[in-house]
Structure 1
Amino acid sequence: MSDNANVEKVVPYAGSKLSKKEQIAAMFNDIAFRYDFLNHFMSLGIDVIWRKKALRMLRSLQPKKMLDVATGTGDFAIMAQRMLEPESITGIDISEGMLAIGRKKIARLGLEHKITLQVGDSETISFPEQAFDAITVAFGVRNFENLEKGLSEMRRVLKPGGKLVILEFSNPTVFPIKQLYNLYFRYITPLLGKWIAKSQAAYSYLPDSVKAFPQGQVMCNILTNTGFQSVTCKTLTFGICSIYCATR
């Protein structure tokens, strides 16, 4: 069985007749009102450091047009605007609930002329070929229904020499971090999700989706096989998170 087949099998609502994509959209619509808070709360704020490290990998490129895939509430796009100052950033996501919150944040910050959020699917990106200098995805690729298709689409809309930066959870392998991480993710995370976001299913799906997702060299090989070049993987915080960087 391919790694992508394993990823496809992990869904938020076991027994649902909806596709993984439809379940993901419904799940994020349900938890949108608490998503940002839980992200920072459950990671103890370390996710902000991870995001900054990922974006620094684009500094030398000085991208003018950026695409943020699975943008959610736009946190990564807002940080990219502040750190890299591109001419424009477009964020796409399948959850209108998340985007609605993101648009309010962007308006509050007066960034509407720089950042645009719109409903969009990673597997059928509605932009012409070679439209962007850089593409970012923060904690979103493991939710793709078809990983290879999503990666191929991102490569298609990336300019030659352009960069893709993916930030994603990974499974630490070092004792005792691995054991503590598994305990926290498996038991505490779903309880926090149930208590704060009123959705235990969404935060039970999180550890399952991370466990099933291809990581490290396996993910690098998938990126290479999709046509990307100069693929690298950098692990952060004892392997809890990884940054994948690739060039078209």
Structure 2
Amino acid sequence: MGMSTETEPAESQHEAAAVDKSSMRVRSMFTSIAGKYDLLNHLLSLNVDRLWRRFTTRTVPPEPGVPVLDCCTGTADLALAYDRASQGRSPVIGTDFCHEMLRLGNGKVKKAGASDRIVLVEGDTQRLPLPSDTFGIVTVAFGLRNVSDTVRGIDEMIRVARPGGKVAILEFSRPRGPLLGRLYLAFFRHVLPKVGQAIAPNQHDAYHYLPSSVLQFPDGQAMLDLLTSRGLNATEHYPLTFGIATLYVGTKPLRGAAG
């Protein structure tokens, strides 16, 4: 099922085609907005992004003593959520290729008294500097669509998950239906860039990039099919807040198991 109007798909495809997701551009963009990133996320989602992360930790709960990896961790919100969910009993590693975001994330980790449990590492999700078959849960929240090569990012997440481990992807998605679909597109294309620009002046490009990157990213069944094609089993998805965001979950096969 797609959007309800006949003109929207063509507009969406044109907008998506214009998105430059080169690593250099994305790193530079997030460095420039790092100081306002948390404020904008919480404001633009009316703080519902906190509930989405909590839902993720409850739907894919950590096991005591089993490490968790949060890719594209940004300022470490999901890494901190997993530390809280495990009551500090599971080590958490967060990776991101934006140094400034990690600097802010380390400040939050220290403030939470979790420096002995959460380690933030500078690294690209396309080339994770971590060993294979290690983590019980590998997550990413609102970051996979910013990875230059989505498939390569997913493959790396699967590589570092241990056999039987979970891969969990929390990402913006597109609500279906005539009214909500149109309202969503109008908000993302016209309202969100203006709000972002008001809070973070001179960062016009960043808040036009967001709607474009969401519109070009696979969601719903397309994402489930992609995860299955990369080798994950038992894939499921959970639309959140009328489909504005979706949690996708898959399981890495046990060794010797059929794909």
Helix, strand or coil at the partner of 1:238: coil
Unmatched segments (≥5 aa) in structure 2: 1-13, 253-259
Which residue in the other structure is 1:239 paired with?
Answer: 243
What pairs with 1:156-175 in structure 2 (closer than 5 Å)? 156-175=159-178
> What TM-score results when the alignment is normalised by the length of structure 2?
0.87
Helix, strand or coil at the partner of 2:129: coil
Match of 2:19 among 8, 11, 19: 11
Q: Cα distance 1:7–1:96, how it changes in 2: closer, same or farther (>3 A)?
A: farther
Structure 2 distance, partners of 1:183, 1:7, is 13
Structure 1 distance, partners of 2:178, 2:81, is 33
> What TM-score results when the alignment is normalised by the length of structure 1?
0.91
Structure 2 distance, partners of 1:131, 1:8, is 35
Helix, strand or coil at the partner of 1:118: strand
User: Are 1:97 and 2:105 matched, yes or no?
Assistant: no
Structure 1 distance, partners of 2:90, 2:15, is 35
User: Are 1:229 and 2:233 matched, yes or no?
Assistant: yes
Q: Cα distance 1:9–1:118, how it changes in 2: closer, same or farther (>3 A)?
A: farther
What pairs with 1:142-221 in structure 2 (closer than 5 Å)? 142-198=145-201, 199-221=203-225
Which residue in the other structure is 2:256 paired with?
Answer: none
Q: Which amino acid aligns with 1:46?
A: V
1:63 Cα deviation after fit: 6.4
1:11 Cα deviation after fit: 3.3
Q: Is the 8 A contact 1:10 1:209 kept in 2?
A: no
What pairs with 1:15-94 in structure 2 (closer than 5 Å)? 20-59=22-61, 61=63, 64-85=66-87, 86-94=89-97
Structure 2 distance, partners of 1:246, 1:232, is 7
Which residue in the other structure is 2:135 paired with?
Answer: 132
**CA RMSD of superposed structures (Å):** 1.8
Q: Which amino acid aligns with 1:56?
A: R
Q: Cα distance 1:10–1:161, how it changes in 2: closer, same or farther (>3 A)?
A: farther
Alignment coverage as a number of residue pairs: 237
Structure 2 distance, partners of 1:206, 1:220, is 22
Which residue in the other structure is 2:3 paired with?
Answer: none
Structure 1 distance, partners of 2:248, 2:215, is 17
Which residue in the other structure is 1:15 paired with?
Answer: none
Structure 1 distance, partners of 2:61, 2:93, is 18
Unmatched segments (≥5 aa) in structure 1: 1-5, 13-18
Helix, strand or coil at the partner of 1:227: coil
Helix, strand or coil at the partner of 2:157: helix
Q: Which amino acid aligns with 2:208?
A: S
Q: Which amino acid aligns with 1:195?
A: A
The structure that has the greater radius of gyration is: 2
Helix, strand or coil at the partner of 2:178: coil
Structure 1 distance, partners of 2:150, 2:180, is 28
Q: Which amino acid aligns with 2:54?
A: K
Q: Give every structure 1 segment of 4 or more consecutive aligned residues whose post-TM-superposition deviation is greater than 3 Å.
A: 6-12, 60-63
1:60 Cα deviation after fit: 7.0
Which stretch of structure 1 is more off in the superposition, 50-59 or 157-166?
A: 50-59
Q: Cα distance 1:48–1:223, how it changes in 2: closer, same or farther (>3 A)?
A: same
Which residue in the other structure is 1:16 paired with?
Answer: none
Q: Which amino acid aligns with 2:48?
A: I
Structure 1 distance, partners of 2:169, 2:65, is 16
Q: Is the 8 A contact 2:64 2:90 kept in 1?
A: no
1:105 Cα deviation after fit: 0.9
